[in-house]
Amino acid sequence: MRKQDNLKPGTGKHDMAWNEPGGNGGDKDPWGTNRGKRGNQGPPDLDEVFKDLQKKFGGLFGGKGGGRSGSGSASSGGGLGIGLVIAVLLLFWIATGFYKIEEAERGVVFRFGEHVSTTQKGLHWHLPIPIERVEKVDVTKVYTIPLNSTMLTQDENIVDIHGTVQYQIDDAEKYLFNVRHPEISLAQVTESALRQSIGRSKMDYVITEGRGEIAIQVKGIIQEIVNNYQTGLNIFKV
């Protein structure tokens, strides 16, 4: 005899113990799971998981990882550029401290207005401004001051004096420190010395053989006065 299968009419399914009719439309397996629901879930998408993690950690640090990296690179590049500019400016500032003194010159170095040294011929370096500055003084040049005045002799005659005073800078330090207006001061001293000498002489002596002697006397008087005031000047000729 043919064994009759227990089939549900119109389904083609075997009527197993776990396939109970009225099971809310879902077939149950021996493991107690619902096959319909399992088929709809599937494994989680790894890309979505990583994206979620990235969003969470990005929120903690104030932005996305990529944005922070780009900002850091730009900031680093900007700092390097500023540092390079500062270095170039510093080198240029240091280079401005080099100076050259010629053979006829003296270099008087001041630091914040106070004299610190005097340099001779050659290439030198000083702390750049505003810390130090250098005044170059020519100690071989002959300077000339014109003198025109009217004076009274011992015998009360009036003579017109037309001449010049020539001088050199003998001490650059004293000249810069102690002489404010050398031409004006020296002209006044010369005129005073001339009045003193001519006032003791008669007119005939002044306009004849006394001219040379008076010039020597005046030169000596002027030199004594400028030495007393430590002007650093040397009277060359009157």
CATH of residue 216's domain is 3.30.479.30
Above 80 in pLDDT, residue 69? no
The arithmetic mean of pLDDT across residues 179-184, rounded, is 85
* 164 and 220 belong to one structural domain: yes
> Which helix (H) or strand (E) element contains residue 147?
strand 143-152
Percent of the chain residues topping a pLDDT of 90: 53
Q: Where are the alpha helices (H) located in 120-209, listed in sequence order?
A: 172-178, 182-198, 203-207
Residue 214 in domain: yes
Residue 113 in domain: yes
* 74 and 100 belong to one structural domain: no
Higher-pLDDT residue of 69 and 198 is 198
* 195 and 157 belong to one structural domain: yes
Residue 109 in domain: yes
* 181 and 206 belong to one structural domain: yes
Above 70 in pLDDT, residue 121? yes
* 192 and 226 belong to one structural domain: yes
159 phi and psi angles, rounded to 5 deg: -125, 145
The span from the CA of 222 to the CA of 200, in Å, is 17
Please report which confidence band the pLDDT of residue 24 belongs to, taking 50, 70 and 90 as the band edges.
low
Burial group, residue 81, by CB count within 10 angstroms (0-12, 13-18, 19+): exposed
- pLDDT tens string 77-112: 667 889 899 999 999 999 999 999 999 999 999 999
Residue 39 in domain: no
Domain limits at 122? 96-138
* 160 and 230 belong to one structural domain: yes
Calculate the CA dihedral of residues 133, 139, 142, 145 and round it to 10 degrees. 50
* 181 and 223 belong to one structural domain: yes
pTM of the model: 0.60
* 129 and 152 belong to one structural domain: no
> Which helix (H) or strand (E) element contains residue 110?
strand 105-111
> Which helix (H) or strand (E) element contains residue 130?
none
The arithmetic mean of pLDDT across residues 164-191, rounded, is 90
Residues 6+ apart with CB under 8 A from 114: none
* 149 and 125 belong to one structural domain: no
* Angle in degrees, CA 54, 59, 64, rounded to 5: 55
Between the alpha carbon of residue 50 and those of residues 14, 62, 108, the distances in Å are 45, 18, 75
Which pLDDT value is given to residue 222? 94
* 123 and 158 belong to one structural domain: no
Higher-pLDDT residue of 184 and 4 is 184
Residue 110 in domain: yes
* 199 and 117 belong to one structural domain: no
Supply the DSSP symbol for 138.
Answer: E
Residue 17 in domain: no
Which pLDDT value is given to residue 210? 87
State the total domains in the chain: 3
Q: Where are the alpha helices (H) located in the chain, listed in sequence order?
A: 35-41, 46-60, 65-95, 172-178, 182-198, 203-207, 210-228
184 phi and psi angles, rounded to 5 deg: -65, -45
Residue 212 in domain: yes
Residue 3 in domain: no
* 158 and 198 belong to one structural domain: yes
